[in-house]
Amino acid sequence: MSLSKKLQIPVGVATCVVDAPHGFTLDGPVTKDPEAGAVLAFARDRKALTANAGPAFAAARADRIAWIAYPKAGQRGTDLDRDILWELLKAERIRPVRQVSIDDTWSALRFRPG
């Protein structure tokens, strides 16, 4: 299954990818426009989450496709996990609706208006 399909991004919908790791590719159109139909923001740690989550939160509030990718449990050099992300989402009044594995390093959490 392609990553776009796994992330529930329809064919042809542009995705704003924020702070992707080196070598990351997404099958489908990618843009820097935060108003795109989908947003995928990467956060390596809490500091990056604070810096990168804004476009994804805005997309969720507008009921566009919104994902935050974060390191899987056990990854070195991170202070971020799913539970921390869930608490932040709750504070932002948006709710998680789906979690997927991007690869061996990254998981992603989709969220929508709460």
Q: What is the pLDDT of residues 48-93, one digit of tens each?
A: 999 999 999 999 999 999 999 999 988 888 999 888 998 988 899 9
Close Cβ partners of 36 (under 8 Å, ≥ 6 residues apart) = 13, 14, 15, 16, 59, 64
Convert the pLDDT of each residue in 3-46 to its tens digit. 999 999 999 999 999 999 999 999 999 999 999 999 999 999 99
DSSP string, 2-48: -HHHHTT--TT--EEEESPPTT---SS-EES-TTSSEEEEE-SSHHH
Number of domains composing the chain: 1
The residue range of the domain holding 55 is 3-113
Check residue 68 and give its pLDDT.
Answer: 98
CATH of the domain at 13: 3.40.50.150
